[in-house]
Structure 1
Amino acid sequence: MIYQGFASVYDELMSHAPYDKWTEWIEASLPEKGRILDLACGTGEISIRLAEKGFEVTGIDLSEEMLSYAQQKVPAKQPILFLQQDMREITGFEGQFDAVAICCDSLNYLKTKNDVMNTFKSVFQVLKPDGILLFDVHSPYKITEVFPGSTFADQDEDISYIWQSFAGSEELSAIHDMTFFVWNGEAYDRFDETHEQRTFRVDEYEEMLAGCGFQLHKVTADFTDSAPSPYSERLFFKAQKSKTIVY
């Protein structure tokens, strides 16, 4: 479970995240505003924006705590179904979605190819024929050159954090050690978390997608419509469900 114990302050910690850009990318990547699954939806920031754009949205996340806060933020006029499930084992929606989006490098928390492929297989099952899969990941350059040895920090009256990153033991992986101090009205509560992320090369993602019944249509970088460069930090994938599955 990610950010266990303080989902209530997650939105404040992520206040500068480019949720609007993710939403714009999703909208521009789809031919129409149909039924979409926001997979690994967290506290629902992108789900809510998609609903405001006219999509019929379902949000799934592994964290019950995150989903509780997501549900509290949903306007009554824009109902969103939020469910706790593992992205590798989505159940109850076979063939129901026009599109599935996995944003905010959530796929990088899966540490093996088997886990990634199980997620792609799971997504394949819930998509309609010709349905679209959209996801973004950290690039190999970011994992190997930007994260290792980096320290990120921020401080204000209510929340402060120190985030240190190191190279992981697996190929193209990174470890993030995070310490947060959250003001409770009388003193600061301390939270310590360690996150591990792993990415793969574009050709490896393409191979995994093909093996799970998807055709890769497009890879872009850093919230642009441009192809990745050797120094791109975030990669965006658009794939389409094929007629038959081949795994």
Structure 2
Amino acid sequence: MTYNKMAAVYDTFMEQAPYEEWCNFTIHMINKYRPNQVNKIVDLGCGTGQIACQLAEADFQLTGIDLAPDMLSQAAARSSEESLSIQWIEQDLRSLSSLADFDLAVSYCDVINYLTSKAEVKKTFDNVYDLLTSDGLFIFDVHSMSYVENALKDQVFSEVFDDLAYIWFCEGSENKGEMFHDLTFFVEEDGKYDRFDERHHQYTFPYTVYKEILESAGFILEGIYGDFSLEVLDQDQIEEAQRLFFVCTKQAK
């Protein structure tokens, strides 16, 4: 993934994203599992800072981590405009360093789907374990296998805005859960349209794989939630959901 030129148009591209629902879900999980015990939150793969800023407005102390400097520039501009004190750091989730003592780590909007091997997932979960306090929470979401295979695979999406249009091709592979996203953007500037292309590679593993890797990294899986529901899913519901949320607690090794 690059997110270089895409950073400038990302918020338009994602204008229908349910950021408020992510924040409400987060606060509900804090109140359920760690009431009055969460202050420092790190947003892993924070993008342009939409979620981090909303959580900061709810009086949490936020740090945002992202691999793309252009996305962080957008995030910094947003927090400055909203007079929010948030630390923005450019790092790769697979090689996090010099971070510690967070009460909660969140990673939303299918960031974890960009980890395309089990080894990358394990390394990232190990890193998250290390940056949390002794009983810290880790909450992340992924596309479900059924959503990838039945709703995204080999589909084409497009939309036209006032100064932006895009075409989005979702290409599957022989590997179940693997997805290549080819995006073509046309951005209007001074009466002309500039085209740029980006290719993104994502992978969804069966939910049981995430569960096994979490446990091997030292986490207790408190529950799997789906599509912003506030009730833990059973196995049948997990198979039917589009977006799965994993709520985990760090345990002593």
Give TM class, smaller chain.
Answer: over 0.9
Partner of 1:90: 96
Rounded to whole Å, the distance in 2 between the matches of 1:211 and 1:188 is 49
Opposite residue 54 of structure 1, the aligned amino acid is: D
SS at match of 1:74: helix
Give yes or no for contact 2:25–2:230 (8 Å, CA) kept in 1.
Answer: no
Q: How does 1:1-247 map to 2 (within 5 A)?
A: 1-30=1-30, 31-32=35-36, 33-75=38-80, 77-94=83-100, 96-226=101-231, 227=233, 228-244=237-253
Give the percent of matched residue pairs that are identical in Structure 1 and Structure 2: 37
Rounded to whole Å, the distance in 2 between the matches of 1:162 and 1:77 is 35
Q: 1:229, CA displacement in angstroms?
A: 4.0
Rounded to whole Å, the distance in 2 between the matches of 1:24 and 1:196 is 29
Tell me the alpha carbon deviations over residues 107-157 of structure 1, each in whole angstroms, 9 at most, x when there is no partner: 001100000110100000000001000000000001111111211110122
Rounded to whole Å, the distance in 1 between the matches of 2:227 and 2:2 is 24
SS at match of 2:84: coil
Rounded to whole Å, the distance in 2 between the matches of 1:123 and 1:229 is 24
Give yes or no for contact 1:168–1:196 (8 Å, CA) kept in 2.
Answer: no
SS at match of 2:159: strand
Rounded to whole Å, the distance in 1 between the matches of 2:40 and 2:173 is 37
Q: 1:78, CA displacement in angstroms?
A: 2.0
Moved more, 110-119 or 1-10: 1-10
Rounded to whole Å, the distance in 1 between the matches of 2:104 and 2:67 is 19
Rounded to whole Å, the distance in 1 between the matches of 2:175 and 2:63 is 33
SS at match of 2:94: coil
Rounded to whole Å, the distance in 1 between the matches of 2:173 and 2:230 is 30
How large is the RMSD of aligned CA atoms in angstroms?
A: 1.3
TM-score normalised per structure 2: 0.92
Rounded to whole Å, the distance in 1 between the matches of 2:142 and 2:135 is 23
Aligned length: 243
SS at match of 2:240: coil
